[in-house]
Structure formats: structure tokens, C-alpha cells
Structure 1
Amino acid sequence: MSGFQLNAVPVLSRTTLDRAEHLRADEQALKEGWAQAKLLRMNRRGQVLVDGGSVALEAAITLSAEPAADAVFLGVDGEIHLWAVRDNDIEGTLSDLRAAGATLNLDDFGTGLLSTAIALLNWHDKARYSATDGTPTAVTNGGWSRTSEAGHEEFPRIDPAVICLVHDGGDRVLLGRQHTWPEGLFSLLAGFVETGESLERCVERELREEVGVDVTDIRYLGSQPWPFPRSLMLGFSAVADPEQELTFHDGEIAEAHWFTRAEVRAALAAGEWGAARTESRLLLPGSISIARTIVESWAAQD
């Protein structure tokens, strides 16, 4: 069977965070909510303070008497406003979103909270000057936009990227390893969508560039935010011929191999890659990645 569907919603797409968009432009409501609000501090590495395996939130008023100029409004938890701020001096037990499922206990609300905070704070770090006129920008709408001195408003950027499971229509799947990854760690092939390009054409181009294969039967599976720093991962599957020679044109991929379904199932059974046996021929991405969900869905097929 050449086609399959996701058997679960990707982890970062399950968020239950109420973003409360109607409050972002209501400065008075934000000020009134600040007194009882909770604050998340995050450093430039995306790390937050952890208490008992859970994300530690503090009273927002410990930061300032009213919403700080560089704080971003994430949403609400019932009647409680939730904010985040960049703090590169936080100390204590730290963890990050990539550790979810391993050392950090996160539910769907927690993953949404962290992924939104990372994406917004990363964008603010890079958007302090207007792309239109070069003048300084200031935080507006609770951190969901920045406005220049001339009044030009800019919004958080999202970079679309495709990620594709290539299989042979049967029992084998093609996985690749980047040069910077540990030995044995393989994942799906991925790349950013270029200007003027459709998602399907991007899948074709990236796979040809990265491993030299031609694919057919391109099918959309699902999506997931990937705030490292600001991507939206769009998942696909496609069929290729295992007999076609693999060539590495763009230099991103160190090696790629065809693995059997049995090998993939064994690697999945080993758990999170960081805790798996390093001598294994195949380690797979952690549960936080849509790649894991796609691979699990393919491996579950008979």
C-alpha cells in the first residue's frame, strides 16, 4: 500500500493554549490583567526554569508594575493572563522544548505555551528595525506586531518548510543524516519553500538536490509549528525507486540509506534517540518532531 495517513496529531500541533486574540490590542485589559498574570522567563537558547519537571511560571508583577515593554502576551489560562519575556540571566534547573518527552513534563497546554513563546521572542530579537525604512520598531499589540517610527506595522515571520517521508511503496523507507548529527541518527528529508514555488514542487526539488532521487505520488499528511527559529513544517510522503543511485548535490546530507520497516520499528521501540543505544545502526528523532509522528504512522502500516 503506497498511501498512509498520520495516526496521531503531531505533538506541537496539539496545543490547547487560548491565544485570546481579542485582548492583544486592548491595552487597558492587558494592564488590568497584569496584576494576576503569570510570567515565563526564557533565555536565548529557548531554555526555561523547571520546577519538579514542569515549567516554572512566576507572578508577572515581580518583573514590573504593569506590562513590560519587551514582554509578549501569549494568551490566557482561564482568567489568568500569560506572558513571556527574554531573560538571559535565569539560573537554576533549566530545560527546553526539545527535551519534552524526555526530561520535561509537558502537556498539550505546556507545549503550546513554550512553542509560542520561542517563536515570538526569536522574532522580536531579529525585528528591532523596520524592513521598510530601517527605523527602530517598538512592540505593539501585546507583542504580536512591531511598529516603526513612521507607523509601519510588521508581523511575526513564518518560514514554510516541507518534510517528506520517501518510501518505495512497500516495505522500505529512505532516511538521511546531516553532517552535524550524531552517528546513527537519521530522519526525514526536508527543506525550505522558495519564492514562487508550490509545496509539491518544493518536495520534488529538495529530494533531487539532497539525495538525487525522483519522486511520485506526493501526498500531504499534516503540519506542525517548529519554532527553531520560526518554521512551519508541512509533512508529505512520496514514492521513489530504491534502485536509483543516491547522489548528494547540496552538501547538507552526509549519508542516506534505505531501511526496512522492521528496522524502523526496532528503532522506534528503543525510545527517544537521546536515550537509545548509541551503537544502534538507526536512531530516530524525538517525539517533539513531526518527523517522529510521520515515521511512526508509516511503520504502523501492515
Structure 2
Amino acid sequence: MKNAETVTFGGSALERRAELRGDALALADLAARPGAGMIPLWRGKPLVAGGEDALSIARLPHGHPVFDEARDPPIFLGVEDGEGVWARDISAWEPEDVDLASLGLFLDPTEQRHPDLGGDERFAELRAIMTRITPRDAELAATAKAVLGWHDSHRFCARCGHASEVAMAGWQRDCPACGTHHFPRTDPVVIMLVTSGDEVLLGRSPGWPEGMFSLLAGFIEPGEPIEAAVRREVFEESGVRVGAVSYLASQPWPFPASLMFGCHGHAETREITVDPTEIEQALWVSKDRLARIFNNEDPEIRPARKGAIAHFILWNWLEDQLD
């Protein structure tokens, strides 16, 4: 797919400067520059500023009072326009009147405003804003959310159980007891455009918004090639056999920390037998019907969420833009 890297979170050529992560003096010099910026995140939500038509990920000075309650050191994300960018978790802050029930929703619609911030700055769910920010902001926010989420869930050494410590500007955790080094994890996932002539196989998982269908997807298992994972997952979920498989595009997906491998699989069978422990429903959809779905003209099916690689791949299939 010629435009594969235009998918949301597809990258913006950020200078990640991994060679600086172990250089404390160089990082201190970057942090002391007037243009240095820090992105705060609260429970995985980045701080945003601006209105609907001019939304951006906010960068604050390192010494801003918002970071007074930060529990861990910042994560060095990289360099943009010669200035360093970091991210820092401030989940220890407890907003007033927070709707705890909304925090666990598939798409949290609530926004939180910190008393030390003014104007239009607020914390917003990344899923809700991902298509309204620049590719650079999307890459920064996705990276920050994924790495900070890893720190939150991997505070203890997997080898000996001792509390581990942040190292390498946030890109490593070291165990002081046994010396083991731990690194941020990314879970590989295949997501498949399975076609049979002019039809595509769609499915839905329990708990999704009513009427929402998407491409089938699943985690790649240890020792398994991408192509084999495509065939196995499609068969397990729908009973459909897939033959030839080709790669289309990839997307980092920080919910919490996956890398989606978009593939095109050609169906060898059409009979659907759904595994109810995997998905709720699957069906073949023609290109004509998919076009109506994308135009919100179908009474039964809603398209995959805009910004997700499923939406991206299906749209390009409709437009005959697959390589």
C-alpha cells in the first residue's frame, strides 16, 4: 500500500535519539533549554489544548506545578525541531467529581481539567482525539501512552519479584536485586482484510458499540510467522480457510501496547462457523454495501472506528488503492 504510513500513529519521522537515553548530561542540557517540553498524561490521557479545529498535544515546561505530584521520572521521547520532548505520568493527581465509571469505557468521553492549568487545556482520551491531531502529536502521544502504561504494569522484576527501577530515560527498568534489565513490550497483532471476490469478511466482538463491525484480528503466538497467524486466527474465529496472504500496512496501537500488522488474506472457503468465545458475529459484506456503511446509510452495520487500521484498510480497498 503506497500510502501505508499515513495510517494514524503511522509515524512522523520523530528523531527518537536513542543514543541519548543513557547520556544524563546531554539530556540535562536538552531539558534546560527554553524550548524543552513535557507532555503530562493522566491515566493514559494526554493533555490537549485548542478547539475542535485546532487540537494539539500540550507541552509544558519541566518545572510546571502539574508535575509536583508525579511519582516517576519523565520519559524521553525524542527531539523535534532541535528541542527535547518528554512525557510524564501524573496519575497520582485526583480530580474532583471524576466519573470513575467512564474511565473503564471503550471510549471515555470525559475530560479532566487540572487546577494549575488554565484556558482550554484538558486531559482527553486518545481514542477520541487521534484523528484530530497532527501525525507528530499522534506519534508522541502513542509512544508516551504505551511506555508509561508499561511502567505502570511492570514495576516488579519478572525474574525475582523485587521492585525494579526506571533507567535509560524511561526506556528500561533495572532490577537492583538480580541485575536483570527489562524493556518496554510491544504485542504483535495481525488484522486481516479477508476477501472472496467482491466481498470482505467482517466481524464484531462482544462489548463493542451496537452495530460496529471490523476486520478480524488476533495476537501472533510465539514461534509463529505473520502469514500463519492470519490463517489460524481467521479459521479459529470464523471457520473460513485462508490461502495466499500479503502484507499491507502496520500501525502502533497504544491500547495498551500493540503493533498491528495489516494483511490481505484470500479466502479459500466461504462457510462461516463462529467461535462464540472469540467473536459474536461474522458475515460477508459486498463492496457496494461497504460503501453504504461508510456513508452511514446502512441500518444494521456501523464502520470500524476512524483512525483504526481496520478503517484505513477497508477504505483503501473500497478505493482500489491496495498495492
- Identical positions, percent: 37
Letter in structure 1 aligned against 2:146: A
In the other structure, the counterpart of 1:198 is: 225
In the other structure, the counterpart of 1:51 is: 49
Letter in structure 2 aligned against 1:26: D
Runs of at least 5 residues in structure 1 that lack an aligned partner in the other structure: 271-276
Letter in structure 2 aligned against 1:83: W
Deviations, residues 63-110 of structure 1 (Å, cap 9, x unaligned): 579x985211111122321111111236423323212355xx311110
SS in 2 for 1:205: helix
RMSD (Å), alpha carbons: 2.2
SS in 1 for 2:133: coil
1:118 deviation in Å? Answer: 0.8
1:253 deviation in Å? Answer: 0.9
SS in 2 for 1:60: coil
Q: Counterparts of 2:270 and 2:257 in 1: how far apart (Å)?
A: 36
Letter in structure 2 aligned against 1:127: H
Structure 1 residue 282 and structure 2 residue 281: aligned? Answer: no
In the other structure, the counterpart of 2:101 is: none
In the other structure, the counterpart of 2:279 is: 253
1:14 deviation in Å? Answer: 2.9
Q: Counterparts of 2:139 and 2:158 in 1: how far apart (Å)?
A: 28
SS in 1 for 2:28: helix
In the other structure, the counterpart of 1:34 is: 31
C-alpha change, 1:187 and 1:235, in structure 2 (3 Å) is same
SS in 2 for 1:130: coil
Larger RCO, structure (CA 8 Å, separation 6 or more): 1
1:223 deviation in Å? Answer: 1.1
Runs of at least 5 residues in structure 2 that lack an aligned partner in the other structure: 96-111, 114-121
Could you tell me whether the CA contact under 8 Å between 1:175 and 1:258 is conserved in 2? yes
1:48 deviation in Å? Answer: 2.1
Letter in structure 1 aligned against 2:280: A
Q: Which one of 181, 187, 190 corresponds to residue 208 of structure 2?
A: 181
1:217 deviation in Å? Answer: 1.4
In the other structure, the counterpart of 2:82 is: 79
What are the equivalent positions in structure 2 for 1:1-302 lying under 5 Å apart?
5=1, 7-9=3-5, 10-36=7-33, 37-44=36-43, 46-52=44-50, 53-62=55-64, 69-88=72-91, 89=93, 91-92=112-113, 93-100=122-129, 105-149=132-176, 150-168=178-196, 170-241=197-268, 243-244=270-271, 246-249=272-275, 251-270=277-296, 280-301=299-320
TM-score, with normalisation over the residues of structure 2?
0.82
TM-score, with normalisation over the residues of structure 1?
0.87
1:268 deviation in Å? Answer: 2.4
Instruction: Single out whichever of 193-202 and 85-94 deviates more from structure 2.
Output: 85-94
Could you tell me whether the CA contact under 8 Å between 1:172 and 1:260 is conserved in 2? yes
Instruction: Single out whichever of 74-83 and 138-147 deviates more from structure 2.
Output: 74-83
Could you tell me whether the CA contact under 8 Å between 2:21 and 2:171 is conserved in 1? yes
Stretches of 4+ aligned residues off by more than 4 angstroms: none
1:248 deviation in Å? Answer: 1.9
Deviations, residues 116-163 of structure 1 (Å, cap 9, x unaligned): 001100110111111122221111110011111032211111111100
Could you tell me whether the CA contact under 8 Å between 2:71 and 2:90 is conserved in 1? no
SS in 1 for 2:201: strand
Residue-pair matches, total: 285
Could you tell me whether the CA contact under 8 Å between 1:35 and 1:61 is conserved in 2? no
1:8 deviation in Å? Answer: 4.1
